[in-house]
Amino acid sequence: MGRRGGSPREALTASRQQNITSRANRFLVLVAVIWGLEGALRKWVPGMDQMGAVARDALLVGVLALFYVLGAPRRENRVWPIVWIATAFLAVHGLLNVIIGNTTLHVTALGMRSYLVPLLVVAFALTYADSRALEPVRVALSLLVLVNVAIVIVQVRSAPSAGINLEISGIDAHFVNPGGVVRATGTFAAVSGLASFLPVGLALSLGGVLDSARFRAVHAAAALSCVVIAAVGGSRGALVGAAIVGAAAVAVLAARLTWHSWTGLLAITGAAVTAAYVVAQTLPQVIESFGARVENAANVESPSGRVGNGIFGFLATDFPVLGHGAGSHSSGGFALAGQDWQEEEKFRWVFELGIVGYALAIASLIAGLIGVVYLIGSLRRASATHLLTVAAVTTVVLYGGITQQPTTQGALGIMAVALWMTRPADPDADGASPPHQRRIATTPRRAGSTRSSFRVRHRA
């Protein structure tokens, strides 16, 4: 049968669409790389401490504007209306609080950025990119993990005043565990940045191993490196985030009920235990310091009580109905205007946005609970990458940093994009189905078989 022909105009339009999508995919990789390295630029490159803080987001806005001005073909999606409504509300609400005297224009601008950046990353991906960006983004993050594990090991073995531990503006490491062991920051500007990076890196790298993605050896090395970073980094948040993603991987493998999944479970468990043992033998003083930090924190406050307060505490707190404006209770608002800093994310929302922030916190709580139910119900249906990303996102929306720092904002945006790219849905409008679906579709299976797709080779 002959091929169905098309007009030259249609061929040109299709070629232009493919070119735009390819460029958008490459830009998403660049966003991920800048997210992982912007802290290093701010700490260790002279003159970049301020510029590096806004470079990624300014680039994102500039590229979005460029694509729009050039009339790049775009897909309709439901994110843009949310972006415009959120922008209008934050601007009007912020200006009103500036007039009242609750905040300043500078703090309001930073606050608007914190709420809008994750939405802009998702809007760009859904408008111009497609799921083929997943693999290069995965590789980029795995390589960043390998870079970070080397830096983290050097950091925890060095003095707080060592060059590798200098923070922004050249000051010594601020967070130090008992015994003078620093809490590692890696290529990020703060401990919270590395803590937000670790679950994302582990979800995509370990998902790459389980889904038989390309460069599987690189992803396996990155997954083990995440275990090392969690063990020696000194951050309880990073340790908990990595543990939840690891537990999700165990659940995924155990639920598949195949010989391949069970052997994979044994292999991953053995590798993780071996990595932890090697770290304990080679860096005993670091492990002891981290253990003392956890013990001291537990003596001051109950870990379960802290987590419970972070998830549900906002429900019973008194807050201003109007709110004090976006950014007014963030770390940036504290640094710039000396305002009260709310460390817990949901508390910050209700104090900054008032009743709207309260509704946002409620929505976040509901989304987290839905994520738990979805994860349990999809253990045998969706790809490992998708499920591990669901675990990471669920952890963040229930209890974690979303809008506090530029790094946590970027983490949520990248996780949301990965969630979309790995969704168990119909092919994209442009014909590019998620990579894990393309692998499954190329492999016939016997009727009634529950064989996992983990060992199916990735098609380039």
Q: What is the three-state SS of the chain?
A: CCCCCCCHHHHHHHHHHHHHHHHHHHHHHHHHHHHHHHHHHHHHCCCCCCHHHHHHHHHHHHHHHHHHHCCCCCCCCCHHHHHHHHHHHHHHHHHHHHHHCCCCHHHHHHHHHHHHHHHHHHHHHHHHCCHHHHHHHHHHHHHHHHHHHHHHHHHHCCCCCCHHHCCHHHCCCCCEECCCEECCCCCCCCHHHHHHHHHHHHHHHHHHHHCCCCCHHHHHHHHHHHHHHHHHCCCHHHHHHHHHHHHHHHHHHHHHCCHHHHHHHHHHHHHHHHHHHHHHHHCHHHHHHHHHHHHHHHHHCCHHHHHHHHHHHHHHCCCCCCCCCCCCCCHHHHHHHCCCCCCCHHHHHHHHHCHHHHHHHHHHHHHHHHHHHHHHHCCCCCCHHHHHHHHHHHHHHHCCCCCCCHHHHHHHHHHHHHHHHCCCCCCCCCCCCCHHHHHHHCCCCCCCCCCCCCCCCCCC
> Which residue in 248, 218, 251 sits closest to 389, CA to CA?
248
What's residue 167's pLDDT?
84
What residues have CB less than 8 Å from 337, skipping those under 6 apart? 103, 104, 106, 107, 328
Q: Could you give the C-alpha distances from 23 to 16, 80, 118, 250, 459, in angstroms and in order?
A: 11, 20, 20, 36, 21
What's residue 175's pLDDT?
86
What residues have CB less than 8 Å from 393, skipping those under 6 apart? 371, 412, 415, 416, 419
What's residue 226's pLDDT?
95
What's residue 66's pLDDT?
92
Q: In angstroms, rounded to a whole number, what is the distance separating the alpha carbons of residues 229 and 221? A: 12
What's residue 429's pLDDT?
40
Mean pLDDT of each 10-residue bin along the chain, 460 residues long: 52 71 93 91 82 82 91 86 96 95 90 92 93 95 96 94 84 85 92 91 94 91 94 90 93 84 83 89 92 87 84 90 91 73 90 95 94 92 93 90 82 92 63 44 38 35
Q: In angstroms, rounded to a whole number, what is the distance separating the alpha carbons of residues 35 and 28? A: 11
- Measured in whole angstroms, the distance separating CA 210 from the mean position of its chain's CA atoms is 19
Q: Cα 256–258–259 angle (5° rounding)?
A: 140
Identify any residues that bridge with 176 across adjacent strands, giving them in sequence order: 182
365's tokens: 């709580």
Q: Cα 132–57–346 angle (5° rounding)?
A: 95
Residue listed under structure tokens 């504007």: 65
Q: In angstroms, rounded to a whole number, what is the distance separating the alpha carbons of residues 346 and 356? A: 11
